[in-house]
């Protein structure tokens, strides 16, 4: 079993497809992941299931991989954080989670932005360009910068979970570039496609960070490191002045216009 724990998850799933189904049953999305070099033991540690569920999942995986053996999976001591909805974050992680709330408000507006899209008038195009400005300035330069330029530096940046998060960020940026091009070319179908793609990506991305990445990071960081990160976040925030509050007002304005 130790050998299995030290094997890359994509290799395991390729050889034993049932393992992918088992992971999905526990809401672990390794099958669609484009990176997929995580070791099984890292996946178990990062997702931090309750001990009984972890034992149950690993027993099922063992049976799928070693059907001819009787493999006993011990019950691990719990390091379980509170369930989603009851998660308690360190101050810097809480700041990131709070920023997600504003980003999710923009994401929630996307169906209405698509439905009322008007690329033939300057005012109609400006609505989408305002959303682009929010994404690029608040979600990316303000929020993602805290993750990529500060928080991730406290970890091995070759970790697969960080590669996945960075890949999500790059995919989001590609959607935004394509959206701007579609607006400039007056191509509503393409604009709608990339708005929808951004919405789908960010919905899962934020859930992944709030429920898996940030709690795992909080378990790994020392109190001193958490204090350093919070101080660095604060220094970055000072360089933006009133801009974050102004972007909050922009989202409120968009919400009022699309009720």
Judged against a pLDDT cut of 60, whether residue 123 lies above it is answered with yes
All domains in the chain, ordered by first residue? 2-65 (1.10.3910), 91-257 (1.20.120.520)
So what's the pLDDT on residue 193? 98
* CB-facing half-sphere around the CA of 2: CA atoms within 13 A: 0
So what's the pLDDT on residue 84? 46
Judged against a pLDDT cut of 80, whether residue 86 lies above it is answered with no
Instruction: Write down the residue that tokens 């033991």 correspond to.
Output: 41
So what's the pLDDT on residue 190? 97
Least confident of 33-42, 118-127, 153-162, 188-197: 33-42
pLDDT in tens, 132-160: 999 999 999 999 999 999 999 999 988 88
So what's the pLDDT on residue 32? 65
So what's the pLDDT on residue 102? 96
Dihedral sign from CA coordinates of 25, 110, 190, 164: negative
pLDDT in tens, 159-208: 888 998 999 999 999 999 999 999 999 999 999 999 999 999 999 999 99
So what's the pLDDT on residue 33? 65
The answer to pTM > 0.85 is: no
Q: What angle do CA 127, 130, 131 make, to 5 degrees?
A: 90
Higher-pLDDT residue of 29, 245: 245
User: Cα–Cα distance between 239 and 43 in angstroms, integer?
Assistant: 37
Residues 102, 247: contact at Cβ < 8 Å?
yes
Judged against a pLDDT cut of 90, whether residue 3 lies above it is answered with no
Which tokens is 103 given?
């980003």
């Amino acid at each position: 079993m130790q050998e299995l724990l030290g094997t890359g998850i994509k290799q395991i799933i390729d050889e034993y497809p049932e393992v992918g189904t088992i992971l999905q049953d526990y809401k672990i999305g390794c099958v669609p992941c484009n990176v997929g070099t995580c070791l099984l033991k890292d996946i178990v540690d990062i997702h931090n299931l309750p001990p009984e569920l972890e034992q149950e999942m690993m027993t099922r995986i063992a049976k799928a991989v070693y059907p001819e053996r009787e493999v006993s999976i011990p019950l691990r001591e719990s390091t379980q954080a509170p369930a989603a909805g009851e998660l308690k974050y360190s101050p810097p992680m809480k700041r990131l989670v709070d920023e997600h709330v504003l980003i999710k408000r923009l994401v929630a507006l996307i169906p209405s932005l698509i439905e009322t899209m008007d690329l033939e008038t300057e005012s109609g195009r400006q609505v989408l360009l305002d959303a682009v400005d929010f994404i690029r300035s608040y979600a990316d330069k303000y929020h993602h910068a805290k993750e990529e330029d500060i928080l991730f530096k406290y970890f091995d940046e070759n970790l697969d979970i960080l590669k996945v998060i960075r890949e999500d960020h790059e995919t989001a940026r590609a959607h935004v570039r394509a959206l701007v091009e579609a607006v400039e070319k007056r191509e509503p179908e393409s604009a709608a496609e990339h708005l929808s793609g951004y919405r789908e990506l960010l919905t899962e991305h934020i859930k992944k960070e709030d429920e898996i990445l940030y709690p795992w990071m909080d378990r790994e960081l020392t109190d001193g490191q958490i204090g350093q990160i919070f101080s660095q976040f604060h220094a970055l925030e000072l360089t933006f002045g009133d801009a974050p509050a102004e972007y909050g007002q922009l989202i409120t304005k968009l919400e009022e216009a699309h009720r």
